[in-house]
Amino acid sequence: MESAALPVEIVTYILSFLPITDKKEAALVNRIWYFAARDSLCQDNIAYNIPVSSTSLSTIASLGRSRVCCISLPNLDSSTISRDVINCNSLFMSGTLLSKPETMPQAQKALAYLQELNLSGLRYLSDLSFNRLVSCMPHLTKLSLARCHITFEFDPYHGSSHYNSSCILSFRNLQCFLKEQASSLQALDLSGTSITAQAMKSLVQIEKLHLQELVLQNCQDLTNEAVSFLCKHQPSLTLLDISSCSELSDQAVLAVSTSLQALQNLRLGKIHRLTDGAFEHFGQLRSLQNLDISECSLVSGNKLVKAFSHPELQPKLVSLSFAFCSLLRDSSVLSLARTLSSSLRVLDLSSCVSLTNISIQAISSHFTHLMVLRMAWCRELTDWGLLGIEEPQQAPDCGREKDGSPKFSRNFGNMGFFLPPPQALEQIPKVLTDSDWQESQKKYRASLQALHYLQELDLMACHKLTDMSITKVICFPELRRLSLSLVHEITDSSLVAIARGCRNLEHLSLSHCGNLTDGGFMEAASYLRRLQRLNISGCNQLTYQTLLAIGKECTQLKNLDVSMCSGIRVADIKLFQAQLPLQTCIQSHFAGGADLFLTL
């Protein structure tokens, strides 16, 4: 039976068993498969993010034929193109939203079952327009008013209960709405607002309000006392985001760890007063799955490691971010690797500048189910770490043998890593052949290649890495995203090895890898057919031949960055872009050898 004869419902059911990348491939078969693939994608709770442009109008209109769960249309403004997409010019500025009697019944019918409302960043949202809008949504469960101008201390109504101002959005009106929706509202986002401690106390004490998610990112007036009060009155929270709240310190996090036993997601990034003392009782958060403590410069991780290492605790942590925590050391990473080896899937150690090969080898040995690893700017990582071989010069000084030669300790720091004897180190060549590397793996420890399930890897600016390791270990069938930008020593050999070993790559960043040439891309492009985003900015040896190879083989490419590529002329870029689909975006700032300083 020909596939075109199958009903779209059957094709949709068949495609529902495929991963997203294969669904995208199936959508190219014919028209029925195209709509079936889109329907099956929606079943996976996919959100459509379509930048508004003249070329996207037909795409946006066609979504009406599909069962779309979520559509985001960024870049909407007062332009003619935006008005063609949706009539939103000055929608909230005039205060006339839903003011006509005939439009309200239509809105109530269309929005009756809406559950999530995002009004973040609306400068002209007022009590009047807010009330009209939410009155059409009796089943609302999630509300975002992030970065909206809400008045918390000033009472514009002087005690009156008629909240209908067309000029301001008041906390009193929001509080009234929360009381009405308390039994159904589950998530609230007030990020970037000036919510006060008193307003927070009033909010969390609303009768029958049992929030599951509360986002308070970058609320500069939020205090430790307010967070403690919040934790006491909203114990059912499963997600709490208090990142970038500059007034908070250890006291707030201690209140979280002792009161929110059901918490699964906690974001504490950019709380600069936070220290290791905040994690004293962290072991009580037994349901915690996602933890972000990025950019907490005073946190070393010692107390967190101790909390997770409690013998009665079985951590369920799935995602952990220590990004920009410069005090993090190898010993903490090793302890976390032993404790979280069975559960962790996402690990972000970007810019943890003190980490060395010991950390990457601990990760390779223990986190065998890891799916995302970010170690950008960990500049002490070397080829030896990725290969799973101890670097010779890292051996501690253990005195001298009888013949005067230095002794070598077999146990490095009592942390479970053993140095090979000096004779073995002498036998390891600086350029490893396949047989040399395979033999070394039998003798010593796991290499990065042990992370079989890796889907994202970021090694940007790990400048000590070379072809010696990249050609051997970057071979991951499931890898979707890879960044080796600013890894200056890699050559075409690494590029071809990556292309052959990671054929599902969708995002590849090789910015400022100056040793890459046209020959490498001409050989690698045929293996990168699923590539959607490619960054080769600052690769000065590349020419128009690279563009031809990419255009011929990488047919799914949506974004290409050739900025600062002195070997690619502006005329080449224009000619190349004319041959591509209109949806493909090319960034070409200062290409063709343009002088950056003269341009500025």
Which residue carries 């006339």 as its tokens?
96
| Any domain includes 569 | yes
| Any domain includes 117 | no
- Which pTM does this prediction carry? 0.79
pLDDT, mean of each 10-residue run, the chain (600 residues): 63 82 82 76 60 63 59 59 52 71 85 91 88 92 94 78 83 94 96 95 95 97 96 97 97 96 96 95 92 96 88 82 96 92 95 96 95 97 92 54 50 39 43 52 71 97 96 96 97 97 97 97 96 96 95 92 93 87 81 51
> Distance of CA 350 to CAs 158, 415, 501, 571, Å?
51, 23, 24, 38
pLDDT of residue 507: 97
| Any domain includes 27 | yes
| Backbone phi and psi for residue 98, each to the nearest 5 degrees, phi listed first | 60, 30
Which residue carries 């070329």 as its tokens?
55
- 3-state secondary structure (DSSP) of residue 20: helix
pLDDT of residue 57: 63
Distance in angstroms (rounded) separating the CA atoms of residues 1 and 596: 60
Q: Nearest Cα to 309, choosing from 289, 330, 279?
A: 279
Among the candidates 10, 28, 44, a domain finishes at: 44
Which CATH number do you get for residue 570?
A: 3.80.10.10
> Distance of CA 188 to CAs 234, 364, 390, Å?
12, 39, 50
> Which helix or strand (DSSP H or E) is residue 425 part of?
helix 422-427
Q: Which domain holds residue 9?
A: 1-44
* Cβ-contact 524, 497 below 8 angstroms: no
| Any domain includes 106 | no
| Any domain includes 534 | yes
| Any domain includes 483 | yes
Which CATH number do you get for residue 26?
A: 1.20.1280
Q: Tell me how many domains the chain contains.
A: 2
Among the candidates 44, 59, 75, a domain finishes at: 44
pLDDT of residue 121: 86
* Tokens encoding 221: 């007036």
In degrees, to the nearest 5, what angle opens at C-alpha 359 toward C-alphas 493 and 389?
55
Q: Nearest Cα to 496, choosing from 427, 432, 549?
A: 549
> Which helix or strand (DSSP H or E) is residue 348 part of?
strand 346-348
> Distance of CA 509 to CAs 333, 351, 467, Å?
26, 18, 16
Distance in angstroms (rounded) separating the CA atoms of residues 582 and 554: 15
| Any domain includes 449 | no
* Tokens encoding 27: 């959508």
| Any domain includes 24 | yes
* First vs last C-alpha separation in the chain: 62
